[in-house]
């Protein structure tokens, strides 16, 4: 996951640095805080989504579709 997110992480850090550097003198916090908060929030969401997806993918990969279905649980089910 670290390798998959490295590029996105570096892009987020560059965006944060650019927002802080672009803020006017004497107004650094007011001039950058909202952009930084939004950008870090977007990154947090992407990281969490990626982690969840990787967990789902791992669970699906561990499932063996070659096992015969349980006939008791599939009774009454159509084709």
The pLDDT-based confidence of 68 (bands split at 50, 70, 90) is low
- Single pTM value for the model: 0.70
> Quick count: other Cβ atoms within 10 Å of Cβ 32?
19
> What is the band of 75 on the pLDDT scale with cuts at 50, 70, 90?
low
Map out the domains of the chain as residue ranges. Answer: 2-61
**Whole-number Å distance between alpha carbons of 46 and 9:** 10
Question: For the segment 19-63, what is each residue's pLDDT rounded down to a tens digit?
Answer: 999 999 999 999 999 999 999 999 999 999 999 999 999 998 888
Q: Which residues contact 73 (CB under 8 A, 6 or more apart)?
A: none
């Amino acid at each position: 996951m670290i390798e998959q997110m490295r590029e996105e992480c570096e892009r987020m850090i560059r965006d944060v640095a650019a927002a802080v550097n672009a803020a006017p003198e004497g107004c650094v916090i007011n001039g950058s805080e909202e952009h930084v908060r939004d950008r870090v929030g977007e990154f947090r969401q992407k990281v969490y989504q990626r982690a969840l997806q990787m967990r789902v993918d791992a669970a699906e990969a561990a499932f063996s579709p070659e096992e015969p279905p349980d006939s008791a649980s599939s009774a009454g089910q159509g084709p």
